[in-house]
Chains A and B, each alone.
Chain A
Amino acid sequence: MTIRPISYAVLRGQVIESDLVEFGGRGGDVTFLAPDPAMIADRLPLASPRLMEDLYELTFEQILDYLGELGSRLDVRRNDYMHEARDHSYATAPTTKPIMDAFFEHIEPMFDRERIRRMVDFNIGVPYLEGWVEKPINGSKVAIRAYGARALHIVAGNGPVLGALTVLRGAVTRSDTIIKVPSNDPFTTGAIARTMVDMEPDHPITRHLAVAYWRGGDEALEAKLYQPHNIEKICAWGGFASVKHVTKYIQPGIELISLDPKRSASIVGGEGLATDELIEECANRIAVDVGANNQTACANCRMVYVMCGTDEAGVDKLKQLGRRTYEAMLRLPQALSTTPKRYDPDLKSQVDTLRLSEDFYTVIGGEKGEGAVIVSHTPDRVEFWEYLADRTVNLIPVDTLDEVLEVVDAYTQTVGIFPESLREVVRHKGALHGGQRFVALGYAFNGPGLVGPQDGIEPMRRLVKWIISEEPLPEKKPFWECGDEDIALVA
């Protein structure tokens, strides 16, 4: 009999490994065990927001100390929990072993205290978390402070770093954090939480974290848990796939922070292909944005609009770019990109179909499930553009920038730009069409990290409760001393 891996529940300093029931297994997936959700439901939420007071006995520096220490214990070579989680994750993750190894390698640096400080300062401002930030305005002294909330996180599982990021965000915002782990990453977050229990079981940060797996849509559990007396915020990644079960519980008192599913596209100006060197550079840039993590993320480029013109010369140039992009993709380092774990058979069938339509498309590669570059000969994206994945990119020739903007919509997250001269116009017009993040082509995964806005919102700023305190300045005349003519209720 094979041993099935366990997705541990870690509830407020306690590791739960009893009452195990089986999950997963659908469509040939791995099965794993997790504590029966019905048995732990009562222990998931924090009974009262009042109980978050202990988090305010910690200074921000002490929080950083805790996270720094935690980070140093997450080294997969020395931490058995992380090691085990990584080994089990090879089977559940959408990416391959070399990429997962690289992910786990870089969990520790996420907890670098100076990196965390920079992230918090950039997103919220440390003083707002540490105390009241005062400012005089309109005759009053106004003080603002960011307070933690009781938040439930439904995290995405396409990379094991998302659970770690959620733990971090919860700690620095002094939140009470419940994490519902996904079936494509059911082990990593639990391993981090178990490390926290070993480290300091009674520490407020350890006590304000609950990690568990339950099947999204488990009515018995969710109807009980998703109540305003248990949680104030739900942060859901993956949009509808995760929130479809949640929406019915949204009511006054529960705020939904929805990180909707997104996809990404890029824009290359005609001058980007002016010389042979530029074509090579452009190919390298596209290959990285397509190939990173085997195109499993929202930020991965799936279509590239190239302003090379739609005449024969333009399309010929595009084919050349396509061949170079394909070669560049195969050259990418293993830690970043490999042959995909499984090439979607439906996608393969669609790509193979286009091979027969050589009037309109040139298909480069893709015969062995390694990924493919599809060059359109007309300004049309492929009919199955929404399914592009597993290192498959569509290069599309256009005559004008307007044609590109037509396809930027509310589902467009990252837009890669090359060359930089296009940035001003692309980011302005692109934002109006729905685009949310504008990067230099080739840098979709090589930027500042997950700081600042994401998907057009600021998740960290929304995870906290913004509290205001107002005092009248001496010059403010009280209403009880005013006559009718002085009373002014100005909003």
Chain B
Amino acid sequence: MATLAPPADATLEREAEAWMTDPYGHFGHHNTRIHSLPRAEVEAVQLVAINKRLDERRGQIKVLEKLADAQGITCVGTLDAIAPLLMPHDIYKSYPVSLLARNKFDQLTTWLSRLTRHDPTGVDVSQCVSIDSWLTKLRDETPLDVATSSGSTGTCSFFPKSKADYRVSVEGLRVQLAQEFGTDPRPGDIDDPIHAIVPLYRDGHASTGAFPKYIREVFCKGDDSKLHTAFNFKISSDLMWLAARLRAAAARGDASKVDVPLSLLARREEWEQAQREMPIRQMEFITRMVRELRGERVFAMGTSNMFYAVAKKGLEEGVTASFSPDSVLMGGGGAKGVPLPDDVEEVICRFFGFERMTSGYGMTEMNSHSVRCEHDHYHMLPWVTVFQLDLGSGQPLPRSGVQTGRAAFFDMTQDSTWGGLVTGDLVTIDWDNDCRCGRTSVALRKSISRVSDSQGGDDKISCAATPAAQAEALDFLTGL
């Protein structure tokens, strides 16, 4: 289904090149300008960028080549035509789990190499005996900083993000969070070192530990004393994987059947103790920050649930924070299963003394976080093309009217991977009306849910086991 690319336009080409390589610099780190571009112009640049990326990456990323060959796509004439080449997020966990259980990191490296343009196969991983040692080695010797995450099935996914990807991602946070929309940035918004409060780990390969080193660069401008983390050590991806495997094994009725290396199983108590102590230590950490950083401009990033617990306890004890008013707090994590209390925003704001908190919508597989505006929309950055796919057919829904569908994205800023991703999230967009906040960028409604939660009608009963039934049973049992 080869389609002719639109005729080359030198201006668009230059624009696309700039958006792909240095998006924030190109717009002078100006949040308002970034979110005020006319939609038609944005889409024209996106189309050019998609074709450029496809042309470049298909020779670099094996899996993309295979997919593009199978679909017979060499270039596209419309945004929607690229949909067949957007990759399901599951591809990043499509390795056999026994490779991990048996420490076959050479084979895992080969598998990973088919998903990125930064070839890691030259790295000698023969001495690696854990996920942590493997990923540290790759981080030391290649442009990659592979991101891990564990899903409900207990499989660890490996997303071959690069260090450049992380930098773009954190830069986007600073630009969008430090500046108020509708105004020009003040010099300090872009260049001043800002205190960063991250109630998580200082280092790690999972999202709970991966960001601080880049936050240190982008927010703290390299000043280590301005980076505040609750746990000043590296979160172990091996332990996180162990925990996920234990949960999955217990759900199947035999917690002794855990397919992880024995050396890792021996560290179970270490993990469980850390988990037990975590809420108390986070509470202590925030309390200390409130005391030590009084009057300072801070950027705080964590899960809304955690901030809520801290704020609630603080208010009960009569404590409130008094950071500088231009501080920002970003919560998150509400969309993925854990329900948030109704008064979450009110309690957090009252404790921290901010007029409003914000939250972001993003994922490991993208460089671009969407920040929620005061009208409860997550605004997409112009370098990310949004697709909504029909749940049944997988075909793109029209970019008009109000549509609800499976979210898929093409992120043209991706340095390491292809950039096209199909998610498990269900999103709603009003394509015809701009958001009342003034941003012209594509706006996702606040209510984002998992596609898997929306499937199946009421009350259908089957004798065949489904993971959902099991997960529900497990939630029920552990909730007792």
Contacts and interface: CB of A to CB of B under 8 A. Distances in A.
A342 B460 CA distance: 16
Interface stretch (B220-228, B306-314, B461-469): B461-469
A241 B451 contact: no
A71 B58 CA distance: 64
Contacts of A157: 460-462
Interface string A318-349: 00000000000000000000000010011011
A24 interface: yes
Contacts of A383: 90, 93-94, 97, 153, 155
Interface in A400-414: 406-407, 409-411
B96 interface: yes
A222 to B, nearest CB: 12
A410 B259 CA distance: 17
Contacts of B469: 238-241, 261
B95 A356 contact: no
Interface string A213-249: 0011100000000000000000001111110100100
B473 A240 contact: yes
Interface string A342-370: 10011011101111111110000000000
Given A353-B88, A409-B253, A216 B394 contact: no
A378 B96 contact: yes
Interface string B258-284: 010000000000000000000000000
Contacts of B318: none
A357 B95 contact: yes
B337 interface: no
Contact of B462 (A154, A216, A241, A377): A241
Nearest to B451: A346
B67 interface: yes
Contact of A26 (B457, B461, B470, B473): B457
B451 A298 contact: no
A68 interface: no
B343 interface: no
B60 to A, nearest CB: 15
Interface in B94-147: 94-99, 110-111
Contacts of B99: 378
A297 interface: yes
Interface in A257-279: 259-263
A80 interface: no
Contacts of B252: 409-411
B470 A354 contact: no
Contacts of A297: 462-464
Given A383-B90, A410-B252, A183 B460 contact: yes
A387 interface: yes
B255 to A, nearest CB: 11
Given A238-B462, A383-B93, A410 B253 contact: yes
A145 B98 CA distance: 54
A199 B63 CA distance: 65
Given A237-B463, A298-B464, A409-B254, A356 B94 contact: yes
Contacts of B464: 158, 261-263, 296-298, 300, 389
B472 A376 contact: no
Contacts of B391: 345
B210 interface: no
B153 A242 contact: no
Nearest to A29: B457
Contacts of B456: 26-27
Contacts of B87: 353, 356
A182 interface: yes
Interface on chain A toward B: helix, strand, loop, or mixed SS? loop
Nearest to B464: A298
A384 interface: yes
B340 interface: no
Given A383-B97, A411-B253, A411-B470, A298 B90 contact: no
Contacts of A260: 465
B139 to A, nearest CB: 24
Given A182-B459, A184-B462, A345-B391, A359 B111 contact: yes
Interface string B343-375: 000000000000000000000000000000000
A170 B375 CA distance: 58
B394 A345 contact: yes
A244 B473 CA distance: 8
B463 A262 contact: yes
B254 A434 contact: yes
Interface residues of A, number: 67
B457 A376 contact: no
A282 interface: no
Interface string B436-469: 0000000000000001101111111111111101
B66 interface: yes
A410 B254 contact: yes
A376 B94 CA distance: 11
B91 interface: yes
A349 B88 contact: yes
Nearest to B474: A240
B245 to A, nearest CB: 13
A204 to B, nearest CB: 29
Given A345-B391, A384-B90, A386-B153, A182 B465 contact: no
B188 interface: no
B76 interface: no
Contacts of A240: 469-470, 472-473, 476
B257 interface: yes
A293 B1 CA distance: 36
B94 A353 contact: yes
Nearest to B259: A406
A379 interface: yes
A380 interface: yes
A27 B462 contact: no
Contact of A356 (B91, B96, B451, B459): B91
A263 B253 CA distance: 13
Best-buried of B87, B394, B455, B457 by chain A (most CB within 10 Å)? B457
Contacts of A360: 94-96, 111
A300 B463 CA distance: 10
A258 B87 CA distance: 40
9 contacts: A94-B460, A183-B459, A240-B473, A261-B470, A263-B464, A345-B392, A348-B394, A357-B111, A386-B465
Interface of A: 23-27, 29, 94, 154-158, 182-184, 215-217, 237-242, 244, 247, 259-263, 296-298, 300, 342, 345-346, 348-350, 352-360, 376-380, 383-384, 386-387, 389, 406-407, 409-411, 433-434
Q: Which 7 A-B pairs have the closest CB atoms?
A: A410-B253, A380-B96, A261-B465, A238-B461, A29-B457, A240-B473, A298-B463
Interface of B: 63, 66-67, 70, 87-88, 90-91, 93-99, 110-111, 153, 155, 252-254, 257, 259, 391-394, 422, 451-452, 454-467, 469-470, 472-473, 476
Given A349-B88, A350-B90, 10 more contacts: A27-B455, A156-B462, A244-B473, A260-B465, A262-B465, A352-B88, A379-B96, A383-B90, A384-B90, A409-B257
